[in-house]
Each structure stands twice: as C-alpha cells, then as structure tokens.
C-alpha cells in the first residue's frame, strides 16, 4: 500500500469520459456503451460486472461509491454513479441509460457496493426505477402506496390535475371522487 | 404482651394474611397472585413482630418479600404468555376436598393437643439467637449452608448450555 | 453514653423528644387507653416525614438538585418562581397535580393505580428507625439495621408493578432491569454493611451512633471500602444516574415510568428522592457518626448536625448524577458480581480478623485508629489490585487519535506518523 | 423442560419519538431480551422533497433550501451548493470570499461537532452535562453567525460567486475569543469523558466498523476516519483554497464509537488551527463576483463536494440552460452513513444501538430532505 501511495495526486483527478471508458474497457471488455466528455455510459447488462472489475482493478481502484442518483430526461432515465478511489485519489462518473420509461429496470449494484443500498432505495422511491437484485427494495422516504414517483418530470401533470398525492390518506382528503389512478 | 393495640393488630394482620392467601388462589392473573403472595408474606412478618421476634420478622421480609418473590417474578416473566394465566380449573374440586380434609385434621390436632403454656415468655434477643446459631447449633447451621451452596452450584450447572460446556472443555 | 447538655425541659429544642414526650404524657391522662399509640404514630410521622423529609425532598431533592446540577452544567437552574426560584418545586407539584393521570387502555389498571401507593408506603416507614438525636428515634428497635434493609427491599416490587402493568415494551424493559439489578446489588450492599455491624457489634442504628461517639471515630473511616460499596450499591438500587438503567432516558425512554403521568408519576419521582434521602440518612447514621460531631452535639442541636450530614451525603448523589455517564445493564450487573461482591467479601475477612485481634487485646481504643489507617490503605490497594486483576488497563486506551498529514486511504495501525 | 430457557424475540420501536433518535428517526429493532437481532431503519417523517422543489426555483433561490437540509451546519450546505453552481457556471470566487467561506465552514464544523459530541455523550447517559457545556460554546459561534448573516441557524450566507455580505467589524474579536475559548473547552471535555472509565467501557468496541465495510458502505467523514482511513476532502480534493492551510487529518484505531468520538474532538482542534490561519491571512478585496440573479449556466452537469461536519456533502446539478436547475441532487452524508447501521447494531444491546446511532451523528433534516 505504501508504494501505491507515492503517486497520489494532491488534488482529486476527475476522470474524463474517455479515461473512465478506457479503464472500464481494460477491466471489463465490452462493457462500455458510449462516452461523452465527462461521463462514461455503461451497458446495463454489464454494469455489475464492470463495476466489480473496476473495484478490484489496481489501476482503477474505484472502491467508494460516492454518489448514486437518477435523472429524468422526459423520454428516458439515467442513473448516475460517482465512484472514487482513495489510494489513487481519482473520481469517475459512470452512467446507465434506462430507456424503458414505463417499466424502468436497472441491475442493482448492492452486491458490489453495500453503500448503494440506501441510495438505490431512494432512487426507487422518488423515480420508480426498479433495481433488479436489490435485497430489499422499498419506498424509503415516502410510504408504500404513495401515488406516483415525485421526482419524475411529469409528476405534477398526472391524470387528475395538480395532485400532490395525499389523496390516499383517509381523513385528509376532502375530495368526493374515488382515488385517482396513478402512474405505475 | 397483650393489650388493646396488640389485639387489634393481630386481627388486622390475620385478616390481611388470610384474604391475601385467598387472593393467591382465586386470582386468575398469575401476576396478581404473586402480588397477593407478597401481601400475605408481609402479614406473616407482622405476626412475628407481635411475637417479639423482630429478627425473624425482618428476615422474613428480606428473604421472602425481597428475594423469593422477585425470583417468582422472574419465573412469571420467563413463562410463555399462553400458560401465564391461572386458567386451570379442572383440579378445583379435588383441591377443595383436600383442603377441607387438611383443615379438619389440623383442627382436630390443635384441639386435642395438650399445649404447654408458660406465663412469662422468655425474652429472646438477637444476640441470644446469634449465640445459639453459632454456638450450640453450629454444625446444623454449617451443614445447611453447605447444602445451599450445593444447590447454588447445581442450579448453575443446570442452566449451562451445551456451547458453554464445550467452551469450558476446551479451556 | 456521654452526658448531654440537653435538659428534660420540653422547650429545650436541642432534643425534640422531650416535647413529644410531654405531649404524649399529657394526652395519656385525658384520652382513653390505646389512642395514645395512634397519637404517637402521628407525631412520629409528622416529625420525621412532614417536617424533615418533605421539605428536604422539595428544597434539597428538587430545588437543590436542579440548582446544583445547573451550576455543574454552567447554567442557572430554576430562578423564576419566588425568590431565587425557591418556589419552583411547589410550582412543579401544582403542575403535576393538575396534569391528567393517563392510563393506557390495555394496561392492568388496578396494579397501575396501586403501584405508586405501594411505592410511597415503605418510604414513610423507613424513617421510623433513623435516630435524629439522642432520644429522637421513633422506634428504637434492636434490629433497626435489619428493619431498614427489609423495608428498602420493598419498593422494587412497586417498580416492577409499575413497569409490568403499563403494557409497554419500554416499561417492561425497565421492570426486568430493575428486578435483576436489585437482586444483584442487594448482595454486596448487605455484605458491606456486615463489616460495619461486625466492628460495632450492634444491629441497632442508635447503637452505631453511640459506638462512633464512644470511640471518637466514624465507621466510615474504619470501613472506607464498605462506605464506597454502600454508596455504589445504593445508587444502583435507587436508580440514581450513573446506574439508572431501569429508567435510562436515552435508551428506554423512562423505563418503568414511561406510561405514568400526572401525580402518579409525581409520587414515584418524589419518593425516589425520599428513598435517596433515607439512604443518605442511613449512611450518615452508620458511617458518618449520625447526630454526633466530636462534641459539638452538646452545643448545636444534634438533629441539625444529623440533617446537615444527610444533605451533604445527598449532594454526593447529585454530584455523580451531574458528571458520570451511564453503564450498560450487563456491565452494571458484572460490576456487582465481579467487582463489588469480591471486594465486600475481602473487606469482611479483614474486618473479622481485626475484630478477633481487637477482642483479644481487650477492646483497646488505640487499636481502632490503627485499624482505620490500615483499612484506608488496604482498601485503596485492594481496589486497585482487583481492578488490575480484572483487566483494568487505562493506559491502553488512546485518548487522542492518530494524525496524518495527507489524505491517502487506509492507514494500518502500526503506521503512525 | 430441557436445555436452555427459550425466549421470544419481539419488535421494539426506537423512535420516531424517542429521546435519543435526534429527531423523527425510527429504528425498528427486533430484540431477543436486550440483544438486537435485527434493525430496520424507518425514515421519511421529515421528507419535504427539496429536490423537486429546487427544480422550480432559480439557482439563487435554492440557497435557503440547502440551509434546511442539514440544519446544524447550514453554512457548509450553502457552501456545497454554491460550489456546485459555480462549477456548473464556471464562476471564479475572489480570494477574500474564499477565505471568509473557509472561516465560516470551519466555525460551522466547530458548532456542529459541539452538538455531535454533546449529544453523543448524552446518548451514553452522561446526563445533560456535556451537552450543556457544548451548547455554551456553540452559542458563541452562533452569535458570530448572527452578527455576520443575521441568522443563527439557517444562515443563508453564501452566494454563488462569494458570500452575501462582508464581515462586520465585530467579527474578528468575536472569532478570536472563540478561538481562545475552545482549546481549553476541548481539554475539559477530554477530562470529563475520554478519561472516564464508564464512558470508555460504553463506547470502546461498540459499533466497530472495519475499514473494508466503511469503504464498501460508502461512508464518509468522521465515520470513515474513525476506521483508520485517512480521507478528508479538504486535503484530498481541496476547495476554497484549503491547500494553503496547515492541518492534520485525525484517524481512529479500530473504528468503534469511541474512535469516532475522539476523531471529532481532534477535528475541532484542527478547525481552530485552520480558522486561526485563515483569519491571520485574510486578504482584502472583493468578497463576491457579480453574478446575474437569474443565472443560466450552459448545458451540462456538475458534481461538487465538500467535507461537511458529517462527511462528504455532494451536490449534483444538471442544467438545461434554464434559470432553474434541471436536476438538483444532494448527496447527504448522514443518510448514507446510515448504510452500515444494521451491521453495527446487530449483536449488541439496545443501549449499544443508541450509542452507535449517536456516534453516526445524524441530522434528520438531511436524511429525509
């Protein structure tokens, strides 16, 4: 470990998209989907194996899943992974496209990074993106049965108009019509 | 040792002890039964005080109320909830019969015994008790303590689990 | 017994027993036979409980504790109600009485109501044997130490009733904890008191005070280890803070008191202080020479000396409450069985040996001072040695973290800079 | 009956209204006797969906939201968000602005650690005394915030491009006084707690986190450093000119609650050192770059992170050239630090679970957002 540390940069190196893609290609060939200037898009089916390889690869050493979140682009979702290395002092940005908006499914990275447990639950709760292989996927911040996925861009444009979603609470709702159908 | 106050106290204590003893039997809730038992123990301690045996009275409270009922409480807490309530009534009739028989025998014996009465009770102090226990009767006293120690060790051995024994065997 | 300057006159305030005797004798002449016993009981209750315990509860137990802890915590404490906030305990009591005493629906209602009553009664009974002065002891029975121990083993049952009946899991935790803890701590407590009994060869509290007066030394100095063990055990049994696992606020909310409110809770709270006062009074009597103060009791009313000692001992409870964190329940239990009980046994061996030597030397007064010095030294040594034997290594615990100059991932333990 | 006495595990709710959950957080613990056999976190009682709200407001309007996530360290949250917005829009901050930001962030770290240390001691059962002492010191820092920004808790002081106002004349003597007061106070806390046998036996060996688990569970801040991983973003990825200041990273020995506690105490000492240096070398000049109120950054994304008192606080912003962020994501340190809660609590007693929760130093506003 001591030798590895001699090359530690004083400032964290933000890996550009092609650099990250290069690391991913050497660690897990065939896992890269496309690259942009800042990010490297991984193929969903290779996601878990690629991250596993990047974690153990001494050149990449991406051991710490710093940030995981979803982004809604109206027609598709992206799941964003910021992963950093302590020994190499570098951080890389990986993304996964989720094209199926009706039933978004992404493989879960909990087997690789235990810390994804909370963040994947949160992303599921707020975006409705299902993480396949997650040991206990549930709505962590909202309650089970909450109508809709609040961080989706179309959340306020649900059928039934501007409904913040409290209609399911007995005694709270003053509406007379039956509970609205929710996007699911 | 008689007088108006003592008489009143005796009858009150008798009533408390008997009612509490009855409560132990009647109560369906096991915990209530234990609480009644405590009350009856305290009543018995009161009798000892009336008989000028303060040391025995205090020992009664410390040992029976302070220690034994606490152990019973532990037993109640460790009992599964289903068998915790005193709902077994099949034995009520035989129990009653047995109690009546016992009471009859006792009454008979009490009535027929030639009680030896003394006019002035010997004033037994705690010091006399100590001298008796550690002087005259020191051997039975010590044997009793050995018996209790054996019981203690036996209880510890009974509650040991198989893993603990394996650990000890290794050490 | 030493001679006292106190006279037999009823107006001599140095011994209030005269006053009560005069009243009782006068009453005996007018009232029918037997009623005077009731009157004596009432006078004893008023004198010990209403005049001493209740004001002490309010102004030392509530106000004094809050004020002292406030100063420890660098804040003011109560200072709004009345002069210097002195009326705060009364305001608290009025508030408690006005509050609704809730009873949960699925609780055992009867037991829940009876528990506070069952908790209060022994506290009143405890003060019957405490000697406030040379004649000021309400029931001078020869086994008053046993009486005190017997009565003080009752409140735990009330605590258990309170915890069980509330039908709350936290209450049940508190109930189980307090029962387990009392069983554990009763043993070293009695063992430590046995040392005091052996050296003074009496079971009477008044006899112990007279012993201390005769030999001009406090039992606490002859039996320092017993005093320390007594203090620890009693604070454990009374749920005072370093050992208050039965109502550990940060863990199990309020333990057996979780579901209590209003004056039902107030009775528990007030009588907790009452028990602590009784324990302090007991400690002052047994270990600190009771109402004697090396001759000063001839000039100052002995009961003032006694109350002063009681309150000073009570301040120890407040002090520990303000400074120490709480032990975990299993640690507390292990402390009783693995540490206090062996120490109490060692102490008992030492005391019995000393007593034997002393009786062979004809109870010479000089020996008791020798024993005191010896016991103080040996106690310190014993505590330290037993702690080391049990694996107490304070130097192994680092007090400061390692410091690293740069961020570099995991630093193994040996690699300090 | 043969063998051991069987006991039934039962579920106990620690929270949402419990003295030691630091807000409305709940652990649904399955206990067998006093032993925790399973622990499940239930949260969301304070959820306000800030990430959604922020998508409706301009970049500047979002700053007050960040105050209200981690309400015990609003300055740090302001700073993290402003850094992300500046990174997105490519804005440079003048040197004085950076220095003021460093002083404020470190003062906030002191205030927040005061709270963390005091509340942790309270959780171990030190009845109120440490927490009161900590409040006393924290008050002085909050007074400084009040003088500077007008608010004590939710300061809303940082702006995109610098800080909102320049420092008041009273600022420097007040900070100097705090800097003089704090080291003796930390000594006092150490005398009260770290040397205390009861405290040590309550916290040492409780909630042990191996460095592997700490890394794998994405922990950050004192949790990571307590496990012996020297990782501090102020050193690793310096922002606001932290590279100019001389300070050390404290790391623990075995990753237990005690280590996290002493790491926090030491971090307070280091913060005092940083503030001292920053105050001595406070540059003059502008404290803010002028930034249009309706900022429209170019299309893109930015992830900026700072070392908040609780760990790595990240803000992930996506812009679509609109006046409001297209996506506003907070990486909340205390939310993610809870990842390892189950691993740390299971096997211990209920009392240990409380200590472990106290050593994580959660702020529910940040967990639930």
Q: What are the pLDDT digits (tens) for C56-82?
A: 877 887 888 888 888 888 888 888 887
> Which of the given ranges, C329-333, C380-384, D34-38, has the highest pLDDT on average?
C380-384
Q: Are residues C403 and D126, on separate chains, in Cβ contact within 8 Å?
A: no
- The answer to whether C and D touch (≥3 CB pairs < 8 Å) is yes
Please check whether residue D257 touches C, CB under 8 A: no
> Which of the given ranges, A14-23, C233-242, D111-120, has the highest pLDDT on average?
D111-120
Whether the pLDDT of residue D38 is over 50: the answer is yes
- Ramachandran sector of residue C357 (left: φ over 0; alpha: ψ -120 to 50; beta: rest): alpha
Q: Are residues C392 and D34, on separate chains, in Cβ contact within 8 Å?
A: no
Across the range C208-235, mean pLDDT stands at 86
Q: Is the dihedral of CA A151, A156, A158, A163 positive or negative?
A: positive
What does pTM read for this prediction?
A: 0.84
Nearest chain D alpha carbon to C413: D253
Structural tokens at position A101: 């908006």
Q: Are residues C401 and D352, on separate chains, in Cβ contact within 8 Å?
A: no
Q: Are residues D5 and B159, on separate chains, in Cβ contact within 8 Å?
A: yes
Location of structure tokens 């652990």: D27
Predicted confidence (pLDDT) per residue in D193-240, tens digit: 887 888 888 888 888 888 888 888 888 889 888 888 888 888 888 888
Whether the pLDDT of residue D84 is over 50: the answer is yes
For residue C408, the distance in angstroms to the closest alpha carbon of chain A comes to: 6
Domain spans of chain C?
Answer: 89-391
Between positions 112 and 131 of C, the ones with CB within 8 A of A are: none
Q: Is residue B110 part of a domain?
A: no
Question: Do B59 and B131 sit in the same domain of this protein?
Answer: no
CA distances from C252 to C177, C328, D60, D132, D190 (A): 11, 12, 44, 22, 27
Comparing CB atoms, the residue among D49, D326, D338 nearest residue A118 is D338
Pairing mode of beta strands A90-98, A13-14: parallel
Comparing CB atoms, the residue among B29, B32, B58 nearest residue C147 is B58
Cβ neighbours of A15 (radius 10 Å): 25
Local confidence pLDDT in tens for the 171 residues of chain B: 456 777 888 888 999 998 998 888 777 777 788 888 888 988 888 888 887 777 888 888 888 887 888 888 877 776 666 555 555 667 778 888 998 999 999 898 888 887 777 766 666 677 788 888 888 888 988 899 899 999 988 888 877 766 666 666 665
Q: Is residue B116 part of a domain?
A: no
Question: Do B131 and B79 sit in the same domain of this protein?
Answer: no
Please check whether residue A138 touches D, CB under 8 A: no
Q: Is residue B119 part of a domain?
A: no
Q: Are residues C328 and D230, on separate chains, in Cβ contact within 8 Å?
A: no
Structural tokens at position D81: 């968000």
Across the range D272-278, mean pLDDT stands at 91
Comparing CB atoms, the residue among C409, C412, C415 nearest residue A86 is C409
Q: Is residue B66 part of a domain?
A: yes
pLDDT value for B1? 45
Across the range D161-179, mean pLDDT stands at 88
pLDDT value for B81? 60
Predicted confidence (pLDDT) per residue in C239-296, tens digit: 877 788 877 777 778 888 888 888 888 888 888 888 888 889 899 888 888 888 877 7
d(CA B39, CA B24): 10
Judge contact between D87 and D233, C-beta under 8 A: no
Selected residue with higher pLDDT from D130 and C297: D130
Question: Do B10 and B57 sit in the same domain of this protein?
Answer: yes
Note the maximum CA span of chain C: 94
Across the range C194-217, mean pLDDT stands at 85
Reported as a pLDDT band with limits 50, 70 and 90, residue A61 is confident
Q: In this prediction, what percent of chain C has a pLDDT beyond 70?
A: 95
pLDDT value for A165? 46
Q: Is residue B108 part of a domain?
A: no
Comparing CB atoms, the residue among B5, B66, B71 nearest residue C153 is B66
Q: Are residues A89 and C406, on separate chains, in Cβ contact within 8 Å?
A: no
Selected residue with higher pLDDT from A31 and D336: D336
Termini Cα distance of chain A: 49
Question: Do B84 and B167 sit in the same domain of this protein?
Answer: no
Q: Is residue A47 part of a domain?
A: yes
Comparing CB atoms, the residue among D18, D202, D248 nearest residue C404 is D248
pLDDT value for C417? 53
User: Residue A70 sits in a domain of what CATH number?
Assistant: 3.30.460.80
Query: What residues of chain D lie within 8 A of the CB of A69, using their CB?
Result: 316, 327, 329, 331
Whether the pLDDT of residue C12 is over 80: the answer is no
Query: What residues of chain C lie within 8 A of the CB of B54, using their CB?
Result: 141-143, 146-147
Question: Do B56 and B19 sit in the same domain of this protein?
Answer: yes
Half-sphere exposure of C123 (CA within 13 A, CB side): 27
Predicted confidence (pLDDT) per residue in C164-185, tens digit: 888 888 888 888 888 888 888 8
Question: Do B94 and B16 sit in the same domain of this protein?
Answer: yes
Structural tokens at position B102: 């016992």
pLDDT value for C9? 67
pLDDT value for A9? 57
d(CA D103, CA D274): 8
CB-neighbour burial class of residue C293 (10 A; exposed 0-12, middle 13-18, buried 19+): buried
- Ramachandran sector of residue B60 (left: φ over 0; alpha: ψ -120 to 50; beta: rest): alpha
Q: Is residue B107 part of a domain?
A: no
| Residue A17 lies in domain | 13-132
Pairing mode of beta strands A105-107, A130-132: parallel
Query: What residues of chain D lie within 8 A of the CB of A12, using their CB?
Result: 233, 236-237
pLDDT value for D122? 86
Selected residue with higher pLDDT from D130 and B88: D130
| Residue B163 lies in domain | 125-171
Whether the pLDDT of residue C20 is over 80: the answer is no
Structural tokens at position D40: 């499940």
Cβ neighbours of D253 (radius 10 Å): 18
Q: What are phi and psi of C310, to 5 degrees?
A: -60, -45
Q: What's the total number of domains in chain A?
A: 1
Q: Are residues D354 and C412, on separate chains, in Cβ contact within 8 Å?
A: no
d(CA D251, CA D262): 9
Chain D residues at the B interface, defined by Cβ less than 8 Å, are 3-5, 7-8
d(CA D223, CA D214): 7
Please check whether residue A86 touches C, CB under 8 A: yes
For residue D29, the distance in angstroms to the closest alpha carbon of chain B comes to: 21
Q: What are phi and psi of B61, to 5 degrees?
A: -65, -45
Across the range C106-134, mean pLDDT stands at 84
Average confidence score pLDDT of chain A: 76
Q: Is residue B56 part of a domain?
A: yes
Comparing CB atoms, the residue among C153, C179, C203 nearest residue B126 is C203
Query: What residues of chain B lie within 8 A of the CB of C151, using their CB?
Result: 61
- Number of A:C CB contacts under 8 A? 17
d(CA A182, CA B18): 69
Q: Where are the alpha helices (DSSP H) in chain A?
A: 17-27, 47-56, 116-127
CA distances from C239 to C151, C158, C159, D294 (A): 17, 14, 11, 61
Q: What's the total number of domains in chain B?
A: 2
Nearest chain C alpha carbon to D10: C169
Reported as a pLDDT band with limits 50, 70 and 90, residue A6 is very low
Whether the pLDDT of residue A12 is over 80: the answer is no
User: Residue B57 sits in a domain of what CATH number?
Assistant: 1.20.120.1200
Whether the pLDDT of residue A3 is over 50: the answer is no
Across the range D90-117, mean pLDDT stands at 90
């Amino acid at each position: 470990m001591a030798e590895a540390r001699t090359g530690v940069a004083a400032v964290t190196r933000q890996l550009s998209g092609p650099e990250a893609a290069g690391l991913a290609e050497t660690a897990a060939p065939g896992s890269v989907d496309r690259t942009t200037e800042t990010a490297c898009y991984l193929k969903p089916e290779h996601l878990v194996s690629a991250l596993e390889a990047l974690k153990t690869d001494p050149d990449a050493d991406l051991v710490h899943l710093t940030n995981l979140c979803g982004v809604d682009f109206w027609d598709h979702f992206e799941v964003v992974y910021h992963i950093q290395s302590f020994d190499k002092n570098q951080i890389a940005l990986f993304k996964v496209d989720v094209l199926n908006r009706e039933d978004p499914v992404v493989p879960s990275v909990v087997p690789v990074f235990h810390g994804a447990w909370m963040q994947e639950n949160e992303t599921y709760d707020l975006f409705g993106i299902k993480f396949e292989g997650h040991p206990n996927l549930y709505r962590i911040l909202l309650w089970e049965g909450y109508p809709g996925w609040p961080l989706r861009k179309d959340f306020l444009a649900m059928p039934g108009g501007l409904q913040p979603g409290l209609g399911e609470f007995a005694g709270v709702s003053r509406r007379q019509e039956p509970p609205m159908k929710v996007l699911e | 040792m008689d007088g108006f106050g003592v008489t009143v106290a005796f009858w009150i204590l008798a009533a408390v002890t008997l009612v509490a003893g009855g409560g132990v039997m009647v109560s369906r809730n096991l915990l209530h039964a234990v609480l009644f038992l405590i009350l009856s123990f305290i009543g018995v301690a009161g009798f000892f005080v009336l008989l000028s045996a303060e040391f025995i009275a205090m020992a009664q409270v410390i040992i029976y109320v302070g220690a034994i009922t606490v152990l019973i409480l532990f037993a109640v807490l460790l009992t599964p909830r289903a068998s915790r309530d005193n709902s077994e009534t099949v034995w009520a009739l035989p129990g009653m019969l047995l109690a009546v028989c016992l009471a009859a025998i006792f009454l008979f014996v009490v009535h027929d015994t030639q009680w030896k009465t003394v006019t002035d009770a010997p004033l037994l102090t705690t010091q006399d008790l100590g001298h008796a226990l550690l002087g005259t009767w020191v051997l039975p006293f010590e044997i009793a303590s050995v018996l209790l120690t054996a019981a203690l060790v036996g209880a510890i051995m009974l509650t040991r689990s198989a893993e603990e024994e394996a650990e000890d065997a290794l050490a | 017994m030493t001679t006292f300057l106190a006279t037999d006159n009823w107006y001599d305030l140095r011994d209030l027993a005269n006053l009560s005797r005069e009243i009782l004798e006068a009453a005996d002449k007018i009232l029918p036979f037997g009623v005077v016993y009731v009157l004596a009981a009432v006078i004893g209750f008023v004198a010990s409980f209403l005049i001493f315990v209740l004001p002490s509860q309010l102004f030392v137990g509530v106000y004094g504790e809050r004020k002292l802890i406030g100063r420890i915590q660098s804040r003011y404490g109560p200072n709004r109600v009345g002069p210097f906030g002195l009326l705060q305990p009364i305001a608290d009591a009025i508030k408690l009485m006005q509050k609704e005493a809730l009873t949960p629906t699925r609780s055992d209602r009867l037991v829940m109501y009876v528990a506070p009553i069952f908790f209060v009664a022994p506290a009143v009974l405890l003060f019957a044997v405490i000697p406030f002065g040379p004649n000021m002891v309400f029931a001078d029975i020869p086994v008053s130490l046993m009486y005190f121990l017997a009565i003080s083993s009752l409140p735990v049952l009330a605590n258990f009733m309170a915890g069980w009946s509330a039908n709350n899991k936290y209450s049940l935790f508190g109930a189980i904890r307090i029962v387990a803890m009392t069983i554990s701590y009763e043993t070293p407590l009695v063992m430590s008191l046995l040392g005091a009994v052996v050296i003074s060869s009496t079971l009477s509290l008044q006899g112990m005070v007279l012993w201390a007066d005769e030999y001009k030394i406090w039992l606490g100095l002859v039996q320092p280890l017993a005093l320390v063990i007594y203090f620890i055990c009693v604070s454990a049994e009374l749920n005072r803070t370093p050992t208050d696992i039965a109502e550990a606020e940060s863990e199990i909310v309020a333990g057996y008191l979780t579901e209590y409110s209003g004056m039902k809770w107030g009775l528990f709270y007030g009588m907790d202080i009452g028990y602590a006062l009784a324990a302090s009074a007991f400690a002052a009597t047994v270990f600190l020479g009771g109402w004697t103060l090396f001759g000063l009791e001839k000039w100052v009313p002995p009961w003032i000396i006694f109350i002063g000692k009681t309150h000073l001992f009570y301040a120890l409870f407040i002090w520990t409450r303000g400074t120490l964190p709480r032990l975990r329940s299993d640690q507390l239990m292990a402390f009783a069985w693995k540490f206090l009980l062996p120490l109490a046994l060692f102490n008992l061996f030492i005391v019995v040996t000393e007593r034997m030597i002393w009786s062979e030397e004809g109870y010479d007064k000089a020996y008791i001072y020798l024993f005191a010095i010896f016991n103080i030294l040996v106690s310190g040594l014993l505590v330290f040695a037993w702690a080391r034997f049990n694996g107490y290594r304070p130097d192994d615990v680092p007090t400061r973290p390692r410091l690293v100059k740069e961020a570099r991932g995991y630093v193994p333990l040996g690699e300090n800079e | 009956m043969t063998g051991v006495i069987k006991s039934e595990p039962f579920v106990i709710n620690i929270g949402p209204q419990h003295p030691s959950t630091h807000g409305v957080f709940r652990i649904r613990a399955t206990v067998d006797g006093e032993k925790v056999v399973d622990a499940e976190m239930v949260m969301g009682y304070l959820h306000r969906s800030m990430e959604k709200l922020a998508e409706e407001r301009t970049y500047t309007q979002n700053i007050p939201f960040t105050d209200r996530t981690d309400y015990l360290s609003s300055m740090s949250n302001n700073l993290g968000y402003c850094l992300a917005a500046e990174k997105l829009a490519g804005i440079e901050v003048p040197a004085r602005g950076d220095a003021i930001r460093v002083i404020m962030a470190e003062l906030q770290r002191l205030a927040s650690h005061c709270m963390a240390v005091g509340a942790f001691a309270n959780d171990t059962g030190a009845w109120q005394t440490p927490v009161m002492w900590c409040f006393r010191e924290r008050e002085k820092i909050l007074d400084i915030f009040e003088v500077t920004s007008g608010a004590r808790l939710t300061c809303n002081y940082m702006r995109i491009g610098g800080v909102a106002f320049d420092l008041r004349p009273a600022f420097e003597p007040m900070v100097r006084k705090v800097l003089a007061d704090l080291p003796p106070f930390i000594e006092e806390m150490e005398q009260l707690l770290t040397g205390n046998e009861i405290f040590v036996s309550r916290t040492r060996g409780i909630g042990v986190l191996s460095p592997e688990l700490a890394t794998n569970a994405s922990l950050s801040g004192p949790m990571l450093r307590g496990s012996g991983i020297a990782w501090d973003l102020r050193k690793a990825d310096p922002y606001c000119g932290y590279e100019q200041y001389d300070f050390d990273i404290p790391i623990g020995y075995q990753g237990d609650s005690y280590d996290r506690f002493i790491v926090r105490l030491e971090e307070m000492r280091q913060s005092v050192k940083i503030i001292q240096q920053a105050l001595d070398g406070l540059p003059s000049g502008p404290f803010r770059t002028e930034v249009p109120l309706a900022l429209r950054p170019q299309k893109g994304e930015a992830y900026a992170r700072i070392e908040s008192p609780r760990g790595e606080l990240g803000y992930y912003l996506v812009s679509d050239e609109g006046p409001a962020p297209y996506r506003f994501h907070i990486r909340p340190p205390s939310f993610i630090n809870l990842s390892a809660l189950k691993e740390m609590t299971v096997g211990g007693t209920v009392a240990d679970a409380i200590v472990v929760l106290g050593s994580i130093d959660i702020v529910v506003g940040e967990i639930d957002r």
